[in-house]
Amino acid sequence: MDANLISKADLLGVDYDESTTESELRAAVASVLNARDLIKEKAPAAKKQASAVKPKEKEDDAMQKVKIMVHESERDKRPCVVGLNGRNYVIPRGTPVEVPKAVMMILDNAKQRVWTQDMSASYMAPRYPYQLMAS
């Protein structure tokens, strides 16, 4: 019997013994693979129906524009660069700019570890402190 066929049968969990012919084993492997393909075809369709509306709503909400101002610091006066979906947003410090809400959420998650002066403790602080401006 073909060693490749036997390894596929073992991987798929197909039961066989010494009396099983090569054609029977091929048929058993093919039926397991076909059953898996049918399950894969049915599963995404159910997911699409359940979440057909929500991702678009979330995407629209995340792309709404908000006005923010990234604060200058003594150590860092360079513009803040944020990447979102393959697009880079260069945000100048100290200047109010409009950006998608998702960019603001990325800034919320950007943290840095700051140590106390005596180096005995640390805490997480915003990497790019900003202010949300009125639209």
What DSSP element (H or E) covers 109?
helix 101-109
Say if residue 74 is in the same domain as residue 126: yes
* Mean of the per-residue pLDDT values of the chain: 81
pLDDT at 45 over 60: no
- For the chain, the 3-state helix, strand and coil shares in percent, each to the nearest 5, are 40, 25, 30
**Are 12 and 77 part of one and the same domain?**
no
Residue-level pLDDT at 109: 94
Same domain, 26 and 40: yes
Domain count, the chain: 2
Report residue 122's pLDDT band, with 50, 70 and 90 as the boundaries: very high
DSSP 95: S
Residue-level pLDDT at 124: 94
The answer to whether residues 93 and 31 belong to one domain is: no
93 & 73 share domain: yes
Pair (59, 46) in one structural domain: no
Same domain, 65 and 102: yes
Q: Examine the pLDDT at 88 and tell me if it is beyond 70.
A: yes
pLDDT over 80 at 56, yes or no = no
Average pLDDT value for residue range 61-75 = 88
Q: Residue 129: which H helix or E strand, with range? A: none
Output the CA angle 70-96-61, nearest 5 degrees.
85
pTM (2 decimals)? Answer: 0.54
Question: Are residue 85 and residue 99 in the same domain, yes or no?
Answer: yes
Could you tell me the residue range of the domain that residue 7 belongs to?
3-50
